[in-house]
Amino acid sequence: MKIEVDRELCTSVATCVAVAPNTFELDDEGIAIIKDPKGDDEATILQSAQSCPVNAIIISDDDGKQIHPPVK
């Protein structure tokens, strides 16, 4: 599973950090960064991505297929 944060979209709400505190943290600018891509289990990381109000967290599977946000 691959995790990315779109720094342009992130609005520092930090719900991702609340849901998956071992995976995400906020940097000096208050933007979410990945501190450990395997810090939480995959279900928790996916839940944290779904909790982001601006869909700034992009999750792809190992084949590069985007899981979240859903591709239309």
Residues within the interface to ligand SF4 (CB under 6 A): 5, 10-16, 32, 52, 54, 56-57
Identify which of residues 46 and 56 has a Cβ nearer to ligand SF4 in the complex. 56
CA angle centred on 25, ends 54 and 12, rounded to 5° = 35
Work out how close the CB of 62 gets to ligand SF4 at its nearest, in angstroms, rounded to a whole number: 22
CA nearest to 16, candidates 29, 2, 30: 30
Identify which of residues 53 and 64 has a Cβ nearer to ligand SF4 in the complex. 53
Report the half-sphere exposure of 72 (CA within 13 A, side-chain side). Answer: 0
Identify which of residues 11 and 66 has a Cβ nearer to ligand SF4 in the complex. 11
